[in-house]
Structure 1
Amino acid sequence: MHPITHGAACALALLAAGPALAQDQSAGSAEDAATTLGILPAAPARRPFQPFEKDGVTLLLNYTGEAAANPSGGVRQGAAYTGQVFLGADLDMARIAGVAGGTVHLAVTNRHGQNLAATRIGTSTSVQEVFGTQNTHLAILTWQQKLAGGRLEIEAGKTVANIAFLNSPIYCHFQSNSACGNPTFVFKTSNFTYFPASSWGAHATAHLTDKLYLHVGAYEVNPRRKRANDSGFTASFKGTTGVIVPFELGYGTDFANDRLPRHYQAGGWIDRGDYADPLVDAAGAIALLSGQPALTRHGRAGGFVRFDQMVWRPDDHSQRGLTLFGVAMKNLSGRVIETRFLELGLLQTGTFRGRDRDTIGFMVNDQRFSDLALRGLRAARASVGARTDDLPRHQYMMELAYGAQIAPALRISPNVQYIVNPDQLGDPFRRRNARDALVLGFKFTVDAPTLLAH
């Protein structure tokens, strides 16, 4: 199994923060996806039930549930629940077929439930990370090949960009989709593909040293993959409008070679797919007012820097400690609804005596809206006779979350979220701004192989 990475759409990173930090962030297997998307329990105290492990087959079956309610703020008060079944397998092709360094990864999801952000709060960013692609979906079917003694890793097939790029096991210790599984900015400003809405893609990692690596990918841009009736099982390229190319240069350490593990990355994406102009239609009129489809444009780009750094570790014989993390993202070309994204957070692994695998974390991020987005909202407001001078430029989302390992197979995470200036993008004709929202969340994950362990 190759090192844990990254990025896609789902819930609390339920591997203990210490072990998660001990991995590099450039992989993409089914188990890696489960871990970093928050659907595996933290470092189980007993060996999971794996009846076919000796034959080269590792099975994965997990359930993640996320509840959220807004007792104050937003558009109106209410509650919502969403959940995800994750079924997967990693096939060691060296044992199965004698292909050294080869692994087949398979993952299928079923998502169900409702989105509190859309129905009650009025923001386009979910407060329940496992909401999205609400059907049974083929999320991963790839072949991964290690070459040159593991210095080069290549993976290709049906997959998504966000389980390999712009992710960290740290992020899904939170329930807000603004942080977990990836900084939400990349999805709002590009065709970056997200879990589990798979398309054709590939990525390669060159480990330049034991700490430094170069990571590049290419993923099909196909709007059909995001439709409610798309199951991900089709092999067709029909509907493809281009390709998105993410890339990064990374430096990472772990507990084996660093007392205070760290990861630093810089990179970006080149989006050569079609997208809808955020303001005008084909005639140059404001699309919100004309009712006509937005003008189709082609090509965007963005860049990022991000890091996580353990800053305090009380005991060299354990992985308890405090980690600081941050992200900065910027649009570089194209017409977008957000121009930049900033995030900063802290995660403490090991909380009270005897709770070494529990975590407590806090994060806050700032999403800055573009002039184009605000111009469209002002036009919509003006058309219904509402004020246009009070639209906020920034949306701030924050969360305080506690992760408790209740049993080897069960982890829960009560959390409190607060949203300042919920955006109006989903309801542009509102006559007044949605109120700042308090959100009470609860996330849990059950892992079947651990539950069935002897």
Structure 2
Amino acid sequence: MTLCRPKQVFRTEALIIIVGMMLCGQAAAQTFQDNSTSDARLRVATPLMAHPSNGPVVPPFSRPEALFTDPFGMTSWLRARGIALTMDNTNEYTAAISKPTPGYPNYKQGSSNAGQMNTALHINWEKIIGLKGFATHTLFTSRYGTTANRMMGDWLAHSSEIYGGGGNVVVHLVTAYGEENLLGGRVSIAGGRLTEMSEFSASSLFCNFQNNGFCGRPKAAIDNQYITSYPAGEWGFRVRGRPSRYIYIQAGVYFAERGIYANSQHRTGFHFNSSNIVGQLAPIELGWEPVFGHRHNLPGHYKIGGQVISAPNPDNYYDSQGQPYALSGRTARNHQQTWSTWFEIDQKLLHHSYSNAEGGLTAMTGVIYNDPRTSLRNYETYVAFVDRGFIRSRPYDSFGMVMTYVKIAPGVSDTDMLDLSMVPAKTAPNHATGIQGHETVFEANYQIHVMRGVVFAPDFQIYFRPNAQKNLKNVEFVGFKSQIQIL
């Protein structure tokens, strides 16, 4: 991975902001949770209309507050014809303020920067050729940089969420799929190159933060080599039904592919043939999306789900003969089926009357539990709070805190113990330099709404037991996350 050049990145962002300031007027309310990648998550999180029609319908495409609102009338012209084009840049910088654990020459105190450019293209084919209820969604990204946590020995939770999977190419295809909405939005059918975790166990609230243990989605939710999360896609088919206004149920079938995050297989994302397909994933999720409060301004999302993964997954302790593979030297036993489950909640607890619709205090919590035979992260729990607009004079700013706890699967811990107890010690899996048990990460940030389309958030993170190892000292990071919604 080539290290990025932060000074060049900062100069580019500064130029974009300066040009935008000359072309734009008064600021509105841009947030980390509303950007070019949020459409799929927002469609899951939006309840049915009060009086839906009975015919096909294309839900409106999101229109994030942008630096260039309507350059030369282009945005309005395109959207009037059913075409939505959005583009944004997200940048994340972290620096270790504590020294690494002594005795490990590969660990060092340092800093890193990572970022991405996203381009999303949504087309309403009903407006273009009269194909009622049908839309297509295509998303591209270009990623750069690296993450600082690995310098300190942690490989479980990237201090910069935007790292990896983008192939180090100028254009990487994330998703390209069609979606048909029937019965006024009561039924949604999608198929093509999909990202599973953009719709299952998904929430735009997660990326109010920066650490990859939570942002994107809790990391345990993708603790399997075949589960796709941004920026990876795979062939899939998904159906979502809304039997009532505030309840949905969705299920899908996704085709498990080898190396979905690897440069050797999916460097550009344009590998469309079936040569890498080795099985299927079948997720299902039930959600309740009530709106509380006498003014109906306290939305919540409650979801429970799980999936069966029918593809070869290695055991984390036993070999094919039922013995510890760390001792026998044989290949790990393969399981043709494994599973994952989740239960997650977010609920707005209060609304600030002087703020916009997103203003208020929101709480989040959840647990993800995985098959202990094949997982690295046996389970993860989290609790988080985001308070937007709590300062009256800064209605679009927000303060957030999150704590995640990850428990390593028992088989992984036992394999570490056997590998490291040998003389000489063998190389343990997962870059472990000690027995892995559990890890806690705390993060706090303050999002500053700088101007229209621009958000900047100073950030603090602390790792308790980095890499889930007791032998590694706690590590603190400071940094920032910025987002510029260009179009």
TM over 0.5: yes
Q: Deviations over 1:312-364 (max 9, x none)?
A: 22328743211111011212564322222111111101132332111111010
Which residue of 240, 245, 253 corresponds with 2:277? 240
Alpha-carbon separation, structure 1, partners of 2:40 and 2:392:
21
Give, in whole Å, the separation in 2 of the partners of 1:103 and 1:371: 45
Q: Does 1:225 align with 2:225?
A: no
Following superposition, the deviation at residue 377 of structure 1 comes to: 1.2
In the alignment, does 2:433 pair up with 1:413? no
Q: Distance in 1 between matches of 2:447 and 2:327?
A: 46
Shift of 1:225: 2.4
Q: Based on CA coordinates, which of the two structures has the bigger radius of gyration?
A: 2
* Secondary structure of 1:131's aligned partner: coil
Distance 1:314 1:64, change over 3 A: closer
Instruction: Report which stretch shifted further, 328-337 or 171-180.
Output: 328-337
Residue in structure 1 matched with residue 87 of structure 2 by the alignment = 61
Task: Tell me whether 111-120 or 82-91 shows the greater mean CA deviation.
Answer: 111-120
Aligned residue number for residue 397 of structure 1: 441
Question: CA 1:262/1:396 → structure 2, altered by over 3 Å: closer, same or farther?
Answer: same
Contact 2:67 2:486 in 1 (8 A): no
1:314 paired residue number: 352
- Counterpart Cα distance in 2 of 1:235 and 1:134: 16
- How far has the Cα of 1:100 moved from its partner? 1.2
**TM-superposed deviation, 1:253:** 3.4
Q: Which moved more, 1:255-264 or 1:404-413?
A: 255-264
TM-score normalised by structure 1 residue count: 0.84
Deviates more, 1:189-198 or 1:170-179: 189-198
1:84–1:110 CA contact under 8 A, matched in 2: yes
Pair 1:418–1:278, CA change in 2 (3 A) = same
Q: Comparing 193-202 with 328-337, which one deviates more in the overlay?
A: 328-337
Counterparts in 2 of 1:328-347, with a 5 A limit? 328-332=367-371, 334-347=373-386
Q: 2:216 aligns with which of 177, 181, 194?
A: 181
Match of 1:209 among 223, 230, 244: 244
Whether the 8 Å CA contact 1:123–1:424 is kept in 2: the answer is no
Question: Which residue does the alignment assign to 1:3?
Answer: none
Is residue 444 of structure 1 aligned with residue 479 of structure 2?
no
* Greater RCO (CA < 8 Å, at least 6 residues apart): 1
The residue number in structure 1 matching 2:55 is none
- The DSSP-based 3-state class of the residue aligned with 1:226 is coil
Structure 1: how far apart are the matches of 2:383 and 2:327? 37
| Selected match of 1:369 from 392, 395, 408 | 408
In 1: Cα distance, 2:67 partner to 2:387 partner: 20
* Partner Cα separation in structure 2 for residue 419 and residue 138 of structure 1: 33
CA distance in 2, matches of 1:252, 1:215: 14
Alignment map for 1:424-435 (pairs within 5 Å): 433-435=471-473
- Deviating 4+ runs (over 6 angstroms): 19-23, 289-292
Aligned-partner residue type, residue 82 of structure 2? G
Higher strand share: 1
Q: Is the 8 A contact 2:109 2:151 kept in 1?
A: no
**Higher mean Cα deviation, 271-280 or 284-293?**
284-293
Gap change, CA 1:109 and 1:255, over 3 Å in 2: farther
Deviation at 1:223, TM superposition (A): 1.2
| 2:335 matches 1:297 | yes
**TM-aligned CA distance change 1:233 to 1:418, over 3 Å:** same
CA gap 1:45/1:227 in 2 versus in 1, 3 angstroms: closer
**1:181 CA drift (Å):** 0.7
Map 1:35-114; keep pairs closer than 5 Å: 43=65, 47-49=69-71, 50=75, 51-74=77-100, 75-114=107-146
The reply on whether 1:191 has 2:226 as its aligned counterpart is yes
* Unaligned runs of at least 5 residues, structure 1: 1-10, 426-431, 450-454
| 1:148 paired to 2:183 | yes
Whole-angstrom CA distance in 2 between matches of 1:294 and 1:95: 54
2:57 equivalent to 1:13: no
Residue identity matched to 2:232? A
- Give the AA of the match of 1:94: E
1:35-71: CA deviation from partner (whole Å, max 9, x where unpaired): 8xxxx96x45984441422221111211111111112
> Could you say if the C-alpha distance between residues 284 and 332 of structure 1 is closer, same or farther in structure 2, counting changes exceeding 3 Å?
closer
- Native 8 Å contact 1:364 1:398 kept in 2: yes
Contact 2:248 2:288 in 1 (8 A): yes
d(CA) in 1 for partners of 2:139, 2:399: 29
Give yes or no for contact 2:93–2:111 (8 Å, CA) kept in 1.
yes
Out of 270, 287, 291, the position equivalent to 1:250 is 287
- The structure-2 alpha-carbon separation of the partners of 1:309 and 1:247, relative to structure 1 and needing over 3 Å to count, comes to same
TM-superposition CA deviations, 1:150-209 (whole Å, max 9, x none): 110111101110111112111100001111111100222563211112110121110111
Q: How many residues align?
A: 419
Report how far residue 20 of structure 1 moved.
Answer: 12
Please say if residues 378 and 409 of structure 2, whose CA atoms lie closer than 8 Å, have aligned partners that are also in contact. Answer: yes
- Kept in 1, the 8 Å contact 2:408–2:468? The answer is no
Give the equivalent residue in structure 2 for 1:116: 148
Query: What does the per-residue CA deviation read over 1:110-161, in whole Å, with 9 as the maximum and x for residues that have no partner?
Result: 1121122223342322111111213232101100110112110111101110
Cα contact 1:263–1:307 (8 A) shared by 2: yes
Residue ranges of structure 2 left out of the alignment (5+ in a row) = 1-30, 48-58, 101-106, 426-431
* Amino acid in structure 2 at the alignment position of 1:303: T
Normalising by the residue count of structure 2, what TM-score does the alignment of the two structures yield?
0.78
Question: Alpha carbons of 1:215 and 1:26: their partners in 2 closer, same or farther (altered >3 Å)?
Answer: farther
- 3-state SS of paired residue (1:378): helix
Q: What's the CA shift for 1:295?
A: 3.7
Deviation per residue, 1:355-410 (Å, 9 max, x gap):
21111110101101121011111122212578x9x846221011101111111121
Counterpart-to-counterpart distance in 1, 2:372 and 2:414: 19
- Matched residues in 1 for 2:386 and 2:99: separation? 27
Deviates more, 1:254-263 or 1:91-100: 254-263
**Counterpart of 1:149 in structure 2: which amino acid?**
G
